A and B are shown apart, each in its own frame.
Chain A
Amino acid sequence: MIEAHELTKRYGDTTAVHSLSFTIAPGTVTGFLGPNGAGKSTTMRMIMGLDRPTSGTVTVNGKPYRQHRAPLREVGALLEASAVHPGRSARSHLRTMAATHNIKASRVNEVIEMTGLARVATKRVGGFSLGMGQRLGIAAALLGDPRTLILDEPVNGLDPEGVQWVRQLVGSLAAEGRTVFLSSHLMSEMSRTADQLLVIGRGRIIAAGPVQQVIDSVAGDKVRVRSPHAGELATALTADGATVTSPEAGTLEVSGTTTKRVGEVAFNSGLLLHELCTHRASLEEAYMSLTQDAVEYRTHTTTTSRTEKAENR
């Protein structure tokens, strides 16, 4: 369970995170979406007690992270795949973290096995691929068998098999009643992994809720029609109260209606149809539509703001 209340982070004049309030429920996989610089990493760092909020509060499992008696038992985090000294072996890295909490060596071996790092566990991390680094980060997050997992871009750099593995892993962790909060840029991946979405842009919440609800709220279903009489059909549909756009000649996208009604309108007007189907908006489209303003804002910002620095470090 993660609860943020009016969480705000300012760097000088730039507000990286603006008054975020949200609750991430246990037993779910919650996807955290937003364009670069939206404030995702900053938010995650504040949850982990690494950055201090300018105002507002955030608690994990009922307490600010810093106040937990056994932090690694409460929260496991993958914040940056590079949060490891490259000169150390994967096993040594995990042992340093395990030692602080008196976690047994057998647990270190367990997470090494779980994440498929057994063959490279004694190799120096500096030589790891991005994907191997991610697996080590996930191993570190799992080390304390935590109730809450916070994963920043966990599939970044993973091969398809690794992506599938992360999907199964987070699904099963949530099924055990844990809280899983993960960010990603891969919208298609998120639609298959997450149950809930929290979408932010420019440090503010744009949308939140179950995945399908978020998609529907932004881009409802559209009817796609192909007809040699597209122009006449468009006029007839508009007269019927629908909103019509034409992405290409001979094709119409109609919203505010159903396939049944479009068929009836066409029949009544005596117009031939070549294709009639429901076009379900994807998360990708919903996301683009949702974050358009935020992305535009960022694109037009010429100075490298502190927000971006906070996001990328």
Chain B
Amino acid sequence: MSTLTADRPMTSCPDPPPAAAQVHPTFAGIMRGEWIKLLSLRSTWWALTSTAAVITLVALAAAASLSDMAGDTALTPDNGQMHGAEVIASGFHFGMLTIAVLGALLFTGEYATGMILSTFAAVPTRIPVLAAKALALVVLTAAVTLPSVTLSYLVTMPQLSQHDLVPALDDPRTWRVFGGTLYALTAAALFSLGIGTLLRSTAASITTALTVLLLLPGILSFITLDWVQTIVSYLPLPASSALLTTGAADDTGNYISTQTSLLVMAAYALVPIVAAAVTLHRRDA
């Protein structure tokens, strides 16, 4: 083919035809494309950094307030049963906030900027893009949660040791809480991705995702009707609390069992994404 440059009139030069056999979409290629997309945007780095920062800072604050709580037994009757890992994971809600924003933006950012046209022109079957984004999001969530928890563990250690609460690494309950944190954050991220893919608008998606993930339990807590409270216990935040505690304090009746919790959170992660996959194929870009 001939090569044209902006500066010169056309010059013909022989150009071997590209190896057509190798040039076609593969899932690995689509995955790599999504990685480049994520890592080439500042917003990704902001979301990841702030997730790590809030998780660590809130854990630090929680650890620092242990002394006050210890002196105020009226307010914290469970203090004696509190596990150190729970303190470390207490920044989880805030991590959920930033990771949910990141998840929502994966698709809404493309619709808002028009990038979606380029994306769907390259991968007109569309579903592999959603799958690649979901996978990339899971990896990113893990990549930010693990260092955040490690960092939280380290910075809270001085405070926790004063109360003899440093969670032992050979204690399965420690890993239960840390694993639960990762599981719930991943579910929240995927939930937002699904909502974002369905709603397309950044504002609508973030509002919806954060309302369901974080705000609704607080809003509905004023309604003391039994059936409302039952619904509340299945909302993501209350539902995930079974995963974020050692299990010692969850016999209050408000919380669902660990198994149910795992299933409920998986449903939050998967239902919107499956719905999005079904509609993504049919809708106009």
Chain A residues at the B interface, C-beta cutoff of 8 Å: 45, 48-52, 65-66, 68-73, 75, 77, 79-80, 82-89, 92-93, 95-104, 107, 110, 113-116, 135, 140, 144-145, 161-162, 165, 168-169, 172, 176
Contact = CB atoms under 8 A, between A and B. Distances in A.
Contact of B284 (A45, A69, A88): A45
A82 B3 contact: no
- Most A Cβ at <10 Å: residue of B5, B17, B37, B121: B121
Contacts of B121: 48, 50, 71-72, 75, 77, 79
A79 B30 CA distance: 21
Contacts, number: 147
20 contacts: A48-B117, A48-B120, A51-B284, A70-B20, A77-B121, A83-B113, A83-B114, A84-B118, A85-B110, A88-B41, A92-B37, A96-B33, A99-B36, A101-B24, A116-B7, A144-B23, A145-B17, A165-B4, A168-B9, A172-B2
A172 B4 contact: yes
Given A48-B121, A49-B120, A80-B117, A73 B24 contact: yes
Nearest to B125: A66
Contacts of B30: 99-100
B18 A107 contact: yes
B197 to A, nearest CB: 16
Interface string B115-135: 111101111110000000000
A84 B115 contact: yes
A96 B40 contact: yes
A101 B25 contact: yes
Interface residues of B, number: 47
Contact of B37 (A66, A88, A176): A88
B22 interface: yes
B6 interface: yes
Nearest to B129: A100
Contact of A168 (B10, B29, B33, B284): B10
B221 interface: no
A135 B6 contact: yes
Interface in B40-59: 40-43
Nearest to A48: B121
Contact of A100 (B1, B29, B42): B29
B23 A73 contact: yes
A158 to B, nearest CB: 10
B109 interface: yes
A69 B24 contact: yes
B73 interface: no
A97 B115 CA distance: 10
Given A66-B125, A83-B114, 14 more contacts: A45-B284, A48-B117, A50-B120, A68-B124, A83-B113, A89-B40, A92-B40, A95-B33, A96-B36, A97-B33, A98-B33, A99-B29, A100-B32, A114-B3
For the complex of A and B, list the 10 residue pairs with the smallest distance between their C-beta atoms, beginning with the closest: A116-B6, A70-B24, A92-B40, A99-B33, A50-B285, A83-B117, A51-B284, A99-B32, A66-B124, A83-B114
B6 A165 contact: yes
Contacts of B33: 95-100
Given A49-B120, A93-B118, A100-B30, A113 B10 contact: no
Given A65-B124, A71-B25, A101-B29, A115 B284 contact: no
A68 B25 CA distance: 10
Contacts of A71: 25, 121-124
B1 A176 contact: yes
B122 A72 contact: yes
Contact of A85 (B17, B32, B115): B115
A96 B121 CA distance: 12
A83 B118 contact: yes
Contact of B5 (A73, A95, A114, A144): A114
Contact of B124 (A49, A80, A162, A165): A49
